[in-house]
Amino acid sequence: MKRNAARRWLVSGRVQGVGFRYFVQTKATELAVEGWTRNLDDGRVEVYAVGAVEKLIDLAAALHIGPRMAEVRSVEEMEDVLQSVSGFSVR
């Protein structure tokens, strides 16, 4: 069995009001990654995810692209502590 890891990303650019969080939720669900995403007051989107390292790498790649209307300028990635999460939610 593969060990799970946790990652947190802060995504900057035109990422609010363009369906970014729902894009992340769809991609995470496809990858069987659990966690959540939310808008931050400073205009960024925060993503927290738990899953197999390979799947988190795939999710990170998608975050750099985003949905069609988004313009991703930067993605800051950090390791995080494993939290108990179920499914992938938009907050």
**E strands, 19-79, where?**
34-39, 45-52, 71-79
What are the residue numbers of the active site? 21, 39
**DSSP category for residue 16:** S
Q: Among residues 4, 24, 3, which one has the least CA distance to residue 85?
A: 4
